[in-house]
Amino acid sequence: MPTFTTSDGTDLYYSDWGTGQPVVLSHGWPLSSDAWAVERKLLADHGYRAIAHDRRGHGRSAQPWNGNDMDTYARDLAELIDGLDLRDVVLIGHSTGGGEVVRYAAQHGAGRVAKVITAGAVPPVMVQSESNPEGTPITAFDGIRAGVLADRSQFFQDLSLPFFGFNREGATVSQGARDDFWRQGMLAGIQAAYECVKAFSETDFTEDLRALDVPIFIAHGDDDQIVPIAAAALKSIELVKHGTLKVYEGAPHGIFGDYQQELDRDILEFIRG
């Protein structure tokens, strides 16, 4: 099982498939790189080198007590990319991973990053405030933390419904997708699962978005119940210099079904363009 050790001694799992231009994928909370399994195979099959890691505290990576914050996540990603000496990198991030790749590209990626792709990403900032009235109230994130502490197994099962939009009328519910969400979530350590809520909800990426000097493709479903589009993609596109926004009608937060198929086609097209 390939791993690398960060500068603070944390062992992180990663996969490295295929050859060609490197594409580095970062997953959402509370998942692992398995969330990108289909995309990793797709990219490798199309002549790219697909690399994805399990964020510290998640998946098969170590579970340190400290470092469950966005600056450390971005530094971990930087150390992986530097350690593999990757160049002309395309970054892809979903949800929390979207924040991670934006911060990495803005603060660490000079001379290495070619393009950025985000899907259902948390930037600019999720939590509601006077300056961000479209954001999600802090009480919602307090509820997530409470769910993680009280019974995270049941909480992750329940969360899978809005995550994939399976709670919408007429939705075709995949028990397999729900089970895999639960499986990945339960691999996350309770400390990382708890502290990452603050990282994804309260980190302000405004200046990171402004600093990006490479093309960015911002994908977002207009029925995203986890990261509502009004406080996320619709604001991010106004902050970046070289951005393309695509809104996926009726798409949820989780990358699944018709949304996944369309997004995967768009990912390949954007990378090639």
- Please give the structure tokens belonging to residue 30: 């509370």
From the CB of residue 130, how many other CB atoms can be counted at a distance below 10 Å?
5
- Is the backbone peptide bond immediately before 162 cis, with ω within 30 degrees of 0? no
* Catalytic residue of the set 95, 160, 201, 236: 95
> Which of the following is catalytic: 54, 76, 208, 224?
224
Q: Nearest to residue 64, comparing CAs of 6, 147, 117, 138?
A: 6
95 is catalytic: yes
Whole-number Å distance between alpha carbons of 265 and 273: 12
CATH numeric code, 3-272: 3.40.50.1820
Return all residues near 146 (Cβ < 8 A) that are at least 6 apart. Answer: none
Contact by Cβ (8 Å): 163, 252:
yes
In tens digits, the chain (273 residues) has pLDDT values of 799 999 999 999 999 999 999 999 999 999 999 999 999 999 999 999 999 999 999 999 999 999 999 999 999 999 999 999 999 999 999 999 999 999 999 999 999 999 999 999 999 999 999 999 999 999 999 999 999 999 999 999 999 999 999 999 999 999 999 999 999 999 999 999 999 999 999 999 999 999 999 999 999 999 999 999 999 999 999 999 999 999 999 999 999 999 999 999 999 999 999
Determine whether 108 is an active site residue.
no
Q: Is 58 a catalytic residue?
A: no
Which amino acid, residue 207? Answer: E
Record the pTM: 0.98
Q: How far is CA 43 from CA 88, 149, 265, in A?
A: 15, 37, 11
Backbone angles phi, psi at 144, to 5 degrees: -65, -45
The residues spanned by each domain of the chain are 3-272
